[in-house]
Structure 1
Amino acid sequence: MKSFKHQIKIIILCIMTATLMSCNGNSKNGDGSYKVFFIENKQGMQAEFCENGARLMSLKVPDKNGILTDVVIGFENPADYDKATEPYFGATIGRYGNRIAKGKFKLNGESYQLTINNGVNTLHGGKTGFQYQNWTLKKVNDSTLVCTLSSPDGDNGFPGKLNAKVTYVLTSANALTIAYEATTNQPTIVNLTNHAFFNLNGSGSILDHTLMINADRYTPVDSTLIPSGELAPVTGTPFDFRIAEKIGFCISATNDQLRFGKGYDHNYVLNPSKILPAAEVCGDKSGIIMSIYTTEPGLQFYSGNFMQGKNKLRNGPDNFRTAFCLETQHFPDSPNHSNFPSTVLMPDEVYKSKSEYVFSVNR
């Protein structure tokens, strides 16, 4: 009798759980380990996320013919991100986006050593950065998703316990807004961003996409892609995108900076503007325009130079330069350059950053 009652309770619990998930409509089982979350706006835009890395898996926007196009490359199954040779697809990056030289920095007279995962340097938070961690995701309404993560003191060598929150919203203006917040219980450094790989045509080469970056200067790097500390003018260089130009226009030019990055993999010093976007890209085939606005001082432009076709994605392999990244951020290696904007977060402060990706079409 006890066994029979126990089975009845299990059946009732399963029915209640299935009903609750169906009513909420905000998640589904991926491989049994991760859930997938969907948000949308009333104009038909759709975004898909998973728990591992608080990751943007898919972003569908209408092209010039009104056909929904997925402009973010990625896997169909969230578990595949754990096995990928490229761990950053669509992930929320932390605690520190971009590189820190030899994983070393000083803060308030104390020296810190981070985990090394990119040659001799630390990249995107170290060996087990936020992209490898499972976040808590909650769908607030049809168009809003909140992601939270608690990072313990000493996580990958970073000081202090950090509580991070990222809010994704699809607005009625066909924009994806990303709002970051973080607090700490002791002095630390923070530089959060999203590492979506974009292709505004949905697939194929990105070299004929046109790109504008509203920046008069950029931060040159050494052969390990660590900034020298110089804020160099883009004038007369292949890095001048102040007037929209094809991504591939100068990408093969003879230039040490392009040689170091095997193409573009550089931080731009954004010109402050309340009117102009930080960057704007147009897909040559789809007519989709993506305009980026941000509170951040920098933007990392990466032209997919290390993509090698080793990952089988929804729309085929991740071949060389079939996607680009525009990561809103503070500058790489800022803790080691006093002339760069500070990335220090104190216990009595709240880290806040906001970026907006607005989509329209060129007919």
Structure 2
Amino acid sequence: MLKIRNSHFKELKKDKSFGRLPSGEEVFSYNLSNKNGLEVEVINYGAVITSVKIPISKNKKVDVVLGFETLENYIQSFNLPNAPYLGTIVGRYAGRINNAEFILNEDKIVLTKNHGSHQLHGGINGFSKALWNVKNVTSNAITLEYISAANEENFPGQLTTQVTYTITEDNELKVDMIAKSTEDTIINLTQHSYFNLDGQSEDIVNQDLFVNSSKTLETNIENIPTGRFFEVARSPFDFNSSKECPTKIDNTFVLNDKDTVSVILKSKKNNLRMSVYTNQPAIHIYVGGNCFNQIKGKGNASYHPLSGICFEAQNFPDAPNHKHFPNAILKKDETYHHKTIFKFEKL
């Protein structure tokens, strides 16, 4: 069993029903806040962040993440032509695994396929459709746990994962994930929220983006890494100087330095800045949120291909199949630790 230090937790629990799964299990929504008025809503289906509301004036807040108002819409979104995974925790392995297979301890592991001949974001169900157990909740933090059974989606080992969302008084949303396995396995978790600092019904093209990266992963036509790298200098993917968000991007950026800011997103409209920090080796950046006019977003918004931008702090996609990529193997009884911070500031 994982142990998380919960000495800062006070026994304060606030929750409300968010609906029931087809199985009849009830899903709950939890509100986190700080003294500055920053509010975050989390549900225990998929450990989804459903909203992040930031004060931009005395009597006005802007919700800066895409999401839905009902559980049914979150469930239905996985049937869209390109499921958006709005706000979920993605696992066991974020991104693509080539041919849904890899070698571990000289054994060939064949995973479930949910993206043509490949596996994407953990398989057919994965962590994003799981009902997580709430372990602790206070006014500003929540810890959720999911126990993934051995051979779920054909991954080895029973994997116990806990994610803690914490709001600090410095307007940081901290995401801490730890995991342990009963057998050697692979792991690559990420938080999959789509951000739009201008609000639900806007697009992201007028917001400015900085990425602390000098190279991306080269990929083939199916967006599978080739094992080579692409230098971003003098290319459309060079965001080392802040410039407007791209209208189309689905690329893994190799981070230059884990000890400094990884990404900065700025809104001129609302005078907001979001800075992203992580201990992961890469951030996969994706512009999207398209709901194909089939499901309405919050506030009756029509989410389209430019509705939001997703910063997936993670290891490299398909790392188990490339020896020179960062290690993705979690050894039995060792601890995986992922940390990402989203910091919000008024300019």
TM-score (norm 1): 0.86
Question: 2:256 and 2:12 mapped to 1: Cα distance?
Answer: 43
Count of residue pairs the alignment pairs up: 326
Which protein is richer in strand relative to its size? 2
Q: Does 1:328 align with 2:313?
A: yes
Aligned pair partner of 2:285 in 297, 301, 318: 301
Q: What residue is the counterpart of 1:265 in the other structure?
A: 250
Q: Which amino acid aligns with 1:199?
A: N
Deviation digits for residues 64-98 of structure 1 (CA, Å, limit 9, x no counterpart): 67731100110112232111123511001100011
Larger deviation, residues 56-65 vs 200-209: 56-65
Question: 1:102 and 1:82 mapped to 2: Cα distance?
Answer: 26
Question: 2:304 and 2:217 mapped to 1: Cα distance?
Answer: 27
Within-5 A mapping of 1:87-236: 88-203=85-200, 204-236=202-234
Q: Does 1:29 align with 2:22?
A: no
- Give the 3-state SS of the residue equivalent to 2:195 in structure 1: coil
Question: 2:28 and 2:258 mapped to 1: Cα distance?
Answer: 39
> Deviation of residue 318 (structure 1)?
1.1
Deviation digits for residues 9-66 of structure 1 (CA, Å, limit 9, x no counterpart): xxxxxxxxxxxxxx95511112242111111111111111111101100111123677
Question: 1:353 and 1:339 mapped to 2: Cα distance?
Answer: 20
Q: What residue is the counterpart of 1:317 in the other structure?
A: 302
In structure 2, the gaps of 5 or more residues are: 1-10, 21-25
Larger deviation, residues 80-89 vs 160-169: 80-89
> Deviation of residue 348 (structure 1)?
3.1
Is the Cα contact below 8 Å between 1:64 and 1:288 reproduced in 2?
Answer: no
Question: 1:55 and 1:120 mapped to 2: Cα distance?
Answer: 27
- Give the 3-state SS of the residue equivalent to 1:58 in structure 2: strand
The structure number with the bigger radius of gyration is: 1
Question: 2:325 and 2:132 mapped to 1: Cα distance?
Answer: 30
Question: 4+ residue stretches of structure 1 with deviation over 6 A?
Answer: none
Larger deviation, residues 116-125 vs 299-308: 299-308
Q: Which amino acid aligns with 1:319?
A: H
Is the Cα contact below 8 Å between 1:206 and 1:321 reproduced in 2?
Answer: yes
Is the Cα contact below 8 Å between 1:54 and 1:137 reproduced in 2?
Answer: no
Is the Cα contact below 8 Å between 2:86 and 2:193 reproduced in 1?
Answer: yes
Question: 1:31 and 1:125 mapped to 2: Cα distance?
Answer: 25
> Deviation of residue 135 (structure 1)?
0.4
Which protein is richer in helix relative to its size? 1
Q: What residue is the counterpart of 2:346 in the other structure?
A: 361
Q: Which amino acid aligns with 1:111?
A: K
Deviation digits for residues 203-239 of structure 1 (CA, Å, limit 9, x no counterpart): 3111111000000111021111101111221111111
Question: 1:135–1:356: structure 2 CA closer, same or farther, 3 Å change rule?
Answer: same
Question: 1:199 and 1:65 mapped to 2: Cα distance?
Answer: 21
Is the Cα contact below 8 Å between 1:334 and 1:343 reproduced in 2?
Answer: yes
Q: What residue is the counterpart of 1:288 in the other structure?
A: 272
Question: 1:244 and 1:64 mapped to 2: Cα distance?
Answer: 26
Question: 1:139 and 1:43 mapped to 2: Cα distance?
Answer: 23
Is the Cα contact below 8 Å between 2:330 and 2:336 reproduced in 1?
Answer: yes
Question: 1:305 and 1:243 mapped to 2: Cα distance?
Answer: 25
Identity of matched residues, %: 32
C-alpha RMSD over aligned residues = 1.6
- Give the 3-state SS of the residue equivalent to 1:229 in structure 2: strand
Q: What residue is the counterpart of 2:68 in the other structure?
A: 75
Deviation digits for residues 157-204 of structure 1 (CA, Å, limit 9, x no counterpart): 111100000000000100000001000011000001111011111131
Is the Cα contact below 8 Å between 1:30 and 1:79 reproduced in 2?
Answer: no
